[in-house]
């Protein structure tokens, strides 16, 4: 029997319509080759390039409190005339940010030294020279309300600085000479570095500390003492100027 062309075409169309859903389903299930290449490239980049970590930002506080101890390294005759005179100190210093000058942070500085020990000749002449080999220890205190500090690289882990302070010192005995005074002027200058331990504490080291004591001729005898020493201590950062 010979089939009509119309019935043949109708049969072919029915076969195509029945097969199309199966082909589409197979194509949907099969992964795309372009997507696979992109995924492989992405995984390779993630292995070769680890995620970048954000660099830690060290704080730049408005105020700091430092507890420092000074050890003498020798006495020199820059402005003073004494020999065999040395001082050991433990004190607290407050640094308050004012602004920026000469590419540095500019701070107002004040210091209180409640513990100071002065070693001087037990018997001294008019200008503080030792008459005997014996030494004596004289306790004292010092207050320096006028000071300034230039601190560089503020907000970094390592911050160098230099500073100067002016104040007064008082002793339980006439200092440097029996013809001198109990009260004296105290001048300090230092160079140092602060190293951040964490967000609140720093290690502070001053390898050079100039320490001067004299009475400014409040008495006829003004021997004066010039000392070179070094200081070490810790710094605590205040939050918004508060504890």
pLDDT digits (tens, 9 = 90+) for 32-48: 444 444 444 555 555 66
CA separation for the pair 206, 68 (Å, rounded): 9
pLDDT tens, residue by residue, 86-100:
999 999 999 999 999
pLDDT above 70 (res 216): yes
The Cα 143–Cα 226 span in angstroms is: 18
Radius of gyration of the chain (CA): 39
Q: Select the more confidently predicted residue: 153 or 49.
A: 153
- pLDDT confidence of residue 34: 45
pLDDT band for position 29 (50/70/90)?
Answer: low
Beta bridge partners of 63: 96, 238
pLDDT score, position 75:
76
User: 76 pLDDT exceeds 90?
Assistant: no
Q: How many CA atoms lie within 13 A of 53 on its CB side?
A: 3
Instruction: Return mean pLDDT, the chain.
Output: 84
Mean pLDDT lowest for which of 14-18, 204-208, 215-219?
A: 14-18
Q: Is the pLDDT of residue 150 over 70?
A: yes
> How many CB atoms neighbour CB 78 within 10 A?
11
Q: Quick count: other Cβ atoms within 10 Å of Cβ 59?
A: 13
Percent of the chain past pLDDT 70, that is, above it, reads 77
Q: How confident is the model at residue 68, as a pLDDT?
A: 98
The domain spans of the chain are 5-48, 63-238
Give the start-end residues of each E strand in the chain.
63-76, 86-101, 104-121, 135-151, 158-171, 183-196, 201-214, 225-238
pLDDT value, residue 23 = 47
User: So what's the pLDDT on residue 81?
Assistant: 84
Q: What CATH number does domain 63-238 carry, 3.30.2080.10, 1.10.150.650, 2.40.160.20, 2.60.200.20?
A: 2.40.160.20
The CB-side HSE value for 233 (13 A sphere, CA atoms) comes to 19
Q: How far apart are CA 188 and CA 198, in angstroms?
A: 29
């Amino acid at each position: 029997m010979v089939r009509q062309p119309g019935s043949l075409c109708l049969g072919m169309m029915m076969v195509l319509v029945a097969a199309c859903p199966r082909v589409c389903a197979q194509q949907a299930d099969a992964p795309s080759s372009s997507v696979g290449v992109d995924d492989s490239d992405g995984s390779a980049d993630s292995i070769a390039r680890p995620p970048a970590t954000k660099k830690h930002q060290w704080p730049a506080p408005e105020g700091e409190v430092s507890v420092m101890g000074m050890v003498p390294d020798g006495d020199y005759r820059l402005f003073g005339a004494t020999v065999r005179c040395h001082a050991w100190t433990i004190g607290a210093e407050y640094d308050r940010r004012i602004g920026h000058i000469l590419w540095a942070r500019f701070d107002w500085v004040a210091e209180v030294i409640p513990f100071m020990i002065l070693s001087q000749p037990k018997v001294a002449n008019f200008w503080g020279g030792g008459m005997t080999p014996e030494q004596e220890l004289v306790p004292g205190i010092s207050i320096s309300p006028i000071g300034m500090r230039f601190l560089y690289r503020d907000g970094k882990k390592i911050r160098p600085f230099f500073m100067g302070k002016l104040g007064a010192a008082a002793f339980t005995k006439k200092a440097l000479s029996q013809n001198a005074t109990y009260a004296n002027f105290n001048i300090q200058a230092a160079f140092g570095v602060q190293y951040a331990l964490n967000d609140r504490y720093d290690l502070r080291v001053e390898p050079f500390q100039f320490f001067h004591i004299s009475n400014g001729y409040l008495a006829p005898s003004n021997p004066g003492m010039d000392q070179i020493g070094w200081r070490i201590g810790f710094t605590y950062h205040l939050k918004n100027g508060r504890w």
